[in-house]
Structure 1
Amino acid sequence: MRRLHRNLNEAHDHAEAANAAKSRFLAVMSHELRTPLNGMLGMAQTLKKGDLNGAQREQVDIMVDSGETLLALLNDVLDMSRIEAGKVELAPTPSTMKDMVDRVVNTYNPLLGSKDVVLSYHLDEGANRTLSFDVLRVYQCLSNLVSNAVKFTELGSVRINVSVTEEGDGYQVRCEVRDTGIGMSKAVIDKLFEAYSQADAMTVRKYGGSGLGLSISRRLAELMGGTLSVTSDETKGSTFVLTFHAGAVTEVAKAEPISASILAEDDDTLPGMSILLVDDHPINRKVARLFLEPFGFDITEAADGQEALDLDMSRFDLVLMDLNMPRMGGLEATRIYRANEAPGRRLPIVALTADAMKDQIAACHAAGMDAHIAKPIVMDTLIETVTRLLHLADEDEAQAEVESA
């Protein structure tokens, strides 16, 4: 009995060590893959802002699409790891299923190209009701289902049907995605929701895919109190049904989304404000500079945390700080600066990093950073974060002057 107990403990320890090793590997791979993606997608976003002819714009669009496909694959791998480790947390926000479906249809309609396929939808009255659900995760699931339907349908239709019914203290949402595509055999359906599992080799060669999307979507559906199922006929197509539980919302103020870069263009307080950009990779610095300089920021560069401290960070209005750098990383530099920061003014420090896992983001805030931006950098995210923190810093400084007067 003691030997059995010892063997069980050893097996548990080995499993824990294997999970820890996998987490470390994923963290390193996430960082290493996001750095070149940041360079590629950053330059492509900058090119799209320029004066391009039709052929050039098409080429840039292909670059962006290819980069975003790689990023989606990376995020799928990380999502699967988080789900297996039980570290996925839902973040419900108010929205409607009509907005959700409109967003999905607007994304995939242009991808139909020359296909003789019609993408349509039908929503019941409840789809206009404001509900509380994790918008990002529901979009991820529904988008994956529609993407597969469009991919495997060469002729006919892809149709989305959505119904919302009252259930207990909230609502049951049912999303049906029906296509007239190639369909699936029972053997394929039986392994469809297994991680890394795909159809036969010929289908994989023709259509591609990682074999993760449906497995992730089913697990997310279960986390949201629902299910994901499928029926299919090899001659008539497939029907996927996603269900999930949504909470009730009594009142919500809805604002129209506005591009952060458009708002910043009209902000006459930005030109001349100084930003210290700390990153050991010259391409990353180039991308951030190209995003920021059009708004009139004065950019100073540093290659690591020690150089940033030597430049006297207090001279700047804001610091963008990478984490993994030679000599001194961003977390250590931030901790040292915060420990010696003069009272009365808090310098905004933003993590601009390829470290994007939840514990890495928490470490940034614990070190004294004010925000986290993951690479590849999205221009609007960068501009919105920088302008928001600069305005908050100005308000705090003005308040401090009033209190000291």
Structure 2
Amino acid sequence: MLNAMRRLFQHYEDYHAYGPSRLKTMGYVGAITYVAFYFLRFTRPNPALWDDVPFRVLAVLLFVFMGLRDHWPERLKPYYIRYSYVALLYCLPCFTVLVALQRGGGVPSISNAFIILCFLVLLTDWRNTLVMLASGTGIAAAIYVLGTPDPRLPMDLVMQLPAFALVVIGGNLFKSNTDKIDAERKLRATQALAGSIAHEMRHPLAQLKHSLEGMQGVLPAPGASRESARLDAQQVQALYRHLARGEQAVQRGLQVISMTLDEVSARPLDASAFRYLSAAEVVQQAVEEYSYDTEEARDRVIVQVQEDFTFRGDETAFLFLLFNLIKNALYYVPAYPQTRVTIFVGDQQVRVRDSGPGIAPDVLKGLFEPFRSVAKSGGTGLGLSYCQRVMRAFGGGIECDSLQGEFTEFRMKFPAISAEESERHRLDAIAQARTVLAGKRLLIVEDDAVQRVATRQKLGPLALTTELDEAADGQSALRLLGSRKYDIVLLDLHMPGLDGYAVAEKIRAARSPNRNVHIVAYTSEPAHLARAKALKCGMDGFVSKPCAQLPLLAALQHVVQQPGSQAGNVAGRLAGRRILVADDSAFNRKAIAAYLRNAAAIVIEVEHGAAVLEQLHSQEGIHAVIVDLHMPGMDGLETARAIRGAHEPWSGVPIVALTARSDEPAVAAATAAGMNGFLVKPVDALVLYDTLTRLISGGIGMTPGPEPARSREPQPAAAQEGLLNVQRLESYRRLGMLDELLNDYVPEMARLVDTLREAVDNADVQGSIDALHSLLGMSGEAGAQALYQQVRKLYVPLLEQGEWPTGSTWLPNLQDLATRTEQALRAYCATETRSDAS
């Protein structure tokens, strides 16, 4: 009998497990209705009418408490469903039948019975509807018989029993059919979404598999001797290339999942985290970091910066947007081999144009609706709706023009930022950097003298508050680090002799005051290739060349402000800290525990929420709890509520939620349960360190005036054609570096092109790589954006695969581009010099 009652109540709990709270709404409606109906009786006074005040007051109070669910104490909320069962049983069938019996039936009683039956059918499953009707009627009849001297059965109510039965049976049948239709619709939508996500994930998983196979091909046989198992330098570099591509594939897969979850949950972007971004730099970053199927696909995408501009937004969201548009454009390459993708930057717009099959006019109308996919197998159909939501969050918009058989062009329009706002932002950023980096000692390690001058110029605003030293090579840097204490090392990775990786390893291995110095990699090497090696060597940050002034300052600030940015620094902050990790997956616990033990923390692992409470009761000095939200038995939310409601000395311990979901309801639920942080699986080690360090540590100057306004003369035609990055050159003009640009950069670029030609003539692959590397950094720094993009297209495949570009015209084309770039730079400098003089 008891088990049958439990099963019956379980059906009621399941009925109210999902969707908005109908019970809470019924509480408000019932309380208002019962009060209103009581006073309606006075419109026609009847002294003989039975007064139900005590019973009605009880019903109103039960309804009120049911409606105020959100204001219940946390410790009582688990009992809400049980309370609602008792409240509905009394307020609906019991109270209504009792009033009808006491008043001897009548039209009002019959009407009330029909109303109550309808509500009961809506609020319960059919089993509990029948049980509540029978129980409530029985309780009401008992009260009536025991409290009335001459009880009588109202026959008009009895005559309505067939109609009452029809309401109950018909209502439940109709509701059952509706539920089946909804379930089928949800199932189909779920199947479509799951299938499309699986389709989207095939490519990154295939790329990851390819990377793992590449690693397997490089590794020695398992039974090899110690001598034969050694890897040479070329094999080590190959392993890092495969590792970088594997990490890139994982990142791509996580981006697909994040974008899908964000769009399905319609989670708004956090505008408070927006920052000022260079459109040209973000576009270039997207093109470089996109996970292409082949090098041939990479060559199909080009960037033309007609005029860079600044916009305010979220960098990651805009990268996702561009990744999606690039993916859509390249999708049709197998069927349309002539497809090329050009991304234009200028006039407060970013335009992505492809020469693919185009889109039919009737399809264009609903292109940005969710779950719309155009002539594609697979795909979530969420990408373009996500793009639209991102652009609206930025205050702009996205449009699409297309002509079938010719082109498709997506235009992202950004709100203009005034010159005053842009200048104010620049000055504020410089002032903030000056404050954060005040009193710091910084070492610039760079073998190229021109690059050192450029870097020192960019850091010029810090000169009054920050000490700047220079080293021309790795050995000189180590000597300086051995003689005095530094706070930051800005380290070039590609240097003769000791390269940046070797320098970083020696710094971390040395027992000196500079062992935990902040190291920022500063290089022209592709980010996806260099980042893994840089982090392995113990570096804290990564800055790609070329880098404008503000991003460089921001990178230096970041490593200083992030206490968990480097494992050595984290170890000093988390060493000896007792961290309790709760997850039913042993693999997840093992991964997180390994990260924490690497930071010298003491890790306690448990499998479920009850064990968390046991550990907190039995052990003292636990500094933080990491708990998975989804565990059998007591889940993460219940565990957090139990900790906060225990009123023990450890009830205030920092709690970090661990989950695969990052949607708004999950974050809101974790926050409401008393959690302090949020980690999304798979957990990034640095994010884990930063979160714990901030929570455990309790982390739960004059601005210079603006420059005088100056009128701008029209730029030279070459600059307008996309040869030059005018915004970067404008920053050089403000820094007073135009003379250095003409006297140092331009001749050096010409020399590097000659060096490249000599290396090609001598079939010297490594010499060509070195020349392209230097030319890449030099052209980027000089604002020669077309030359920079062309050099990168040559440099990356040559570095990764050691393969020369196909054809015989690439070198003459590069030489011609370098000549035109030199002419454009000289014309720009001459124009700006005349403008300054006037």
Shared fold by TM > 0.5?
Answer: yes
Out of 554, 558, 566, the position equivalent to 1:255 is: 554
AA of the residue aligned to 2:678: H
3-state SS of paired residue (2:349): strand
* Residue 326 to residue 271, structure 1, CA distance change in 2 (3 Å): same
2:254 — aligned with what? 71
Equivalences, count: 347
Change (3 A) 1:358 1:81: same
In the TM superposition, residue 286 of structure 1 has moved relative to its aligned partner by 1.7
1:219: how far off? 3.9
1:94 maps to 2:275: yes
User: Matches of 1:191 and 1:224 in 2, distance apart?
Assistant: 22
- Report the CA distance between 1:147 and its aligned residue: 3.2
Name which one, 1 or 2, has greater alpha-carbon Rg: 2
SS at match of 1:255: helix
The alpha carbon displacement at 1:109 in A equals 8.0
Cα distance in 2 for residues equivalent to 1:177 and 1:393: 42
The partner residue of 2:591 within 275, 287, 303 is 287
Equivalent-residue separation in structure 2 for 1:98 and 1:117 (angstroms): 18
What does residue range 332-371 of structure 1 map to in structure 2 within 5 Å?
332-340=638-646, 342=648, 346-371=652-677
Cα offset, 1:277, TM superposition: 0.7
Report if aligned partners of 1:184, 1:238 keep a CA contact under 8 Å in 2: yes
CA–CA distance in 1 between the matches of 2:263 and 2:661? 17
Alignment of 1:101-116 (within 5 A): 101-108=283-290, 113-115=295-297, 116=299
- Contact 1:185–1:233 (CA under 8 A) maintained in structure 2: yes
Maintained 8 Å contact 1:95/1:135 = no
Describe how 1:51-62 pairs up with structure 2 within 5 A. none
SS at structure 2 position matched to 1:340: coil
Distance 1:317 1:344, change over 3 A: closer
Which of 263, 268, 275 is the equivalent residue of 1:80?
263
C-alpha distance in structure 1 between counterparts of 2:416 and 2:695, whole Å: 33
- TM normalised by structure 2 equals 0.36
Q: Give the drift of 1:383.
A: 1.9
Native 8 Å contact 2:317 2:390 kept in 1: yes
Deviation at 1:156, TM superposition (A): 6.7
Query: Whose relative contact order is higher, 1 or 2, with alpha carbons under 8 Å and at least 6 apart?
Result: 1
**In structure 2, distance between residues paired with 1:374 and 1:225:** 28
CA distance in 1 between partners of 2:312 and 2:694 (Å): 26
Matching residue of 1:213: 383
Distance 1:320 1:146, change over 3 A: same
**Aligned-pair CA distance for 1:357:** 1.9
Whole-Å Cα distance in 2 between the matches of residues 297 and 344 of structure 1?
19
Equivalent of 1:328 in 634, 638, 649:
634
**Equivalent position of 1:387 in the other structure:** 693
TM-score using structure 1 length: 0.70
Question: What is the one-letter code of the residue matched to 2:276?
Answer: S
1:180-233, Cα deviation, whole Å (9 max, x unpaired) = 344444465455434333333xx53xxx53322113212443454433222234
| Structure 1 counterpart of 2:581, from 277, 283, 294 | 277
Amino acid at match of 2:284: D
- 1:111-150 aligned within 5 A: 113-115=295-297, 116-125=299-308, 127=309, 129=310, 131-150=311-330
Q: CA deviation at 1:334?
A: 2.0
d(CA) in 2 for partners of 1:277, 1:361:
19
Q: 1:155 to 1:271 in 2, by over 3 A?
A: farther
Distance in 2 (CA, whole Å) between partners of 1:61 and 1:210 is 27
Matched residue of 1:324: which SS?
Answer: coil
Quickly say closer, same or farther: Cα 1:199–1:58, change in 2 above 3 A.
farther
1:199 aligns to 2:374 (yes or no): yes
Give how far 1:375 is off: 1.6
CA distance in 2 between partners of 1:155 and 1:260 (Å):
50
Corresponding residue number in structure 2 for 1:301: 605
- How much has 1:261 moved relative to structure 2? 6.0
Q: CA deviation at 1:70?
A: 4.2
Which ranges of structure 1 fall in alignment gaps of 5 or more residues? 1-5, 165-172, 395-405
Contact between 1:323 and 1:329, CA under 8 Å: does it hold in 2? yes
Moved more, 372-381 or 89-98: 89-98
Question: What is the CA–CA distance in structure 2 between the aligned matches of 1:314 and 1:347, rounded to whole Å?
Answer: 11
AA at the equivalent of 2:321: C
> Greater shift after overlay, 97-106 or 278-287?
97-106
Q: Offset at 1:262?
A: 4.5
* Counterpart for residue 166 of structure 2: none
Task: Measure, in 2, the Cα distance between the counterparts of 1:314 and 1:366.
Answer: 26
Say what the alpha-carbon RMSD is for the aligned residues.
Answer: 4.2
1:71 deviates by: 3.4
Change (3 A) 1:309 1:109: closer
In structure 2, C-alpha distance between the alignment counterparts of 1:388 and 1:306, rounded to whole Å: 26
**Structure 2 residue aligned with 1:266:** 569
> For the structure 1 residues 292 and 255, does the alpha-carbon distance in structure 2 shift closer, same or farther, using more than 3 Å as the test?
same
- My pick for the range that moved more, 242-251 or 360-369, is 242-251
Counterpart Cα distance in 2 of 1:357 and 1:244: 27
Q: Does 1:240 align with 2:410?
A: yes
CA distance in 2, matches of 1:113, 1:309: 54
CA 1:109–1:365 in structure 2 vs 1: closer, same or farther (change >3 Å)? Answer: closer
Task: Please identify which structure carries the higher strand content.
Answer: 1
Equivalent pair of 2:645/2:651 in contact (CA under 8 Å): no
- Preserved CA contact (<8 Å) 2:280 2:305: no
Alpha-carbon contact 1:132-1:246 (below 8 Å) kept? no
Q: Matched residues in 2 for 1:78 and 1:255: separation?
A: 30
What amino acid sits opposite 1:275 in the alignment?
I
Q: C-alpha separation between the residues in 2 aligned to 1:347 and 1:111?
A: 47
Contact 1:314/1:347 (<8 A) preserved: no
Question: Is 1:159 matched up with 2:346?
Answer: no
Which residue in the other structure is 1:401 paired with? none
**Aligned residue among 226, 230, 241 for 2:396:** 226
Give, in whole Å, the separation in 2 of the partners of 1:327 and 1:109.
Answer: 41
Structure 1 residues 88 and 118: CA distance shift in structure 2, 3 A: closer
Shift in Å, 1:361 = 0.9
- The structure with the greater share of residues assigned to helix is 2
Alpha carbons of 1:290 and 1:123: their partners in 2 closer, same or farther (altered >3 Å)?
farther
Q: 1:66 to 1:306 in 2, by over 3 A?
A: same
Structure 2 counterpart of 1:193, which letter?
F
Contact 2:255 2:320 in 1 (8 A): no
Moved more, 300-309 or 189-198: 189-198
The percentage of aligned residue pairs carrying the same residue is 27
Structure-2 change in CA distance of 1:383 and 1:340 (3 Å): same
Distance 1:355 1:162, change over 3 A: same
Contact 2:265 2:664 in 1 (8 A): no
> How far apart, CA to CA, are the structure 1 residues paired with 2:325 and 2:406?
17
Of stretches 55-64 and 71-80 in structure 1, the one that deviates more from structure 2 is 55-64
Aligned-partner Cα distance in 1 for 2:270–2:392: 12
Separation (CA, whole Å) in 2 of partners of 1:381 and 1:18:
40
State the distance in 2 between where 1:280 and 1:265 align: 30
Q: Could you tell which deviates more after superposition, 340-349 or 142-151? A: 340-349
